[in-house]
Amino acid sequence: MSSDHKPTGTGWPDDGVSRPRSAPTPVVPDDADDDVAAERPAKAGRRLTSAGVVIAVLLGLLGFTLVVQLRSNATDSGLASARQEDLVRILSDLEAREERLRQEIADLEDSQRQLSSGAAGRQAALDEATRRADELGVLAGTLPARGPGLTVEFKAGSEPLKASAILDAVQELRGAGAEAMQIGGADGAAVRIVASTYFLDADGGITVDGRRLAAPYTIAVIGEPRTMETALKIPGGVVESVGNDNGTVIVQEQEVVDVSALRAPTTLQHARPAS
């Protein structure tokens, strides 16, 4: 055997030229692909788990916000501390007011039928116009009024009564269905209270529509007595607020209240009917 014999099996021809050896091909175990395939669902599962945690946190925050909102809407500091008999009276007054409103609707519908009834329509229209003019005169303060209602007297304590306390009482009475009001001072002078009436603090009393009044003050108001009294005496209302400042509010129901103070008609400078 010749001594210059070269081993075979390199894949290169034996032509005497030196060539680089090829790197051996790595042998991959058969289960390597299975490991990679198993790792991918695991990573995807971890990503899905993280997203689920974020969604759960967001849902929890949403639920907490809804609970807080519902509790806030359901809680009323004034009514929550009211006695059961006060709540029953308030409910009864609201039902009575609803009944009055239904009756007013029925009366208006009856008036509409009369106005469209032919020959009697002209007289019905005249009567309706007169009635409406009287109602508007009472609301505007240009006509006197009489009816059932309340007298509400305000007496100062250690601190003088502020105009804001009187204004709060007027707003409560309006919300409870007051139809006509006037306020008087210690000297007996009275001022009609209408939609544009304003109240200001002044030395030794308050100013109402430019007229200075001294305490004690008395509001004469026409409306449903029980409804208005309940509105003034509700926990956290006018009576309690004035009492916290050492003042006194005396509410008396009256079968007949006279609101006789008048207000000069207001001449409109800019507003005109739209139709």
- In the block, tokens 């509001």 appear at 219
What are the helix (H) ranges across 81-155?
84-115, 121-140
Residue 109 phi/psi, 5-degree rounding, is -65, -40
Residues 209/233/258/254 CA torsion (nearest 10 deg): -170
Spell 77-94 as b/e; 16+ CB within 10 A means b: eeeeebeeeeeebbeebe
What are the residue boundaries of the structural domains of the chain, listed by start?
Answer: 32-74, 146-259
Q: What is the pLDDT along the chain (275 residues), one digit of tens a residue?
A: 444 444 444 444 555 545 555 445 555 455 545 554 445 554 544 554 555 666 666 667 667 676 666 565 554 555 666 677 777 778 888 888 888 888 888 888 877 776 666 656 677 778 888 888 898 999 999 999 999 999 999 999 888 999 999 999 999 999 999 999 999 999 888 999 999 999 999 998 999 999 999 999 999 999 999 999 999 999 889 999 999 988 999 999 999 999 999 998 888 888 888 86
Nearest to 220 by CA among 124, 144, 131, 156: 144
Number of other residues whose CB lies within 10 A of the CB of residue 150: 25
- Tell me the H-state helices in 141-249: 163-175, 225-233, 238-244
Per the structure block, which two tokens stand in for 145? 């009024």
Predicted TM-score (pTM) of the model is 0.58
Residue with tokens 């129901």: 253
- Please count the other Cβ atoms lying within 10 Å of the Cβ belonging to residue 122: 10
- The verdict on domain 146-259 having CATH code 3.30.70.1880 is yes
Q: At what angle do helices 121-140 and 84-115 cross, to 10 degrees?
A: 140
Residue 45 host element (H or E): helix 32-74
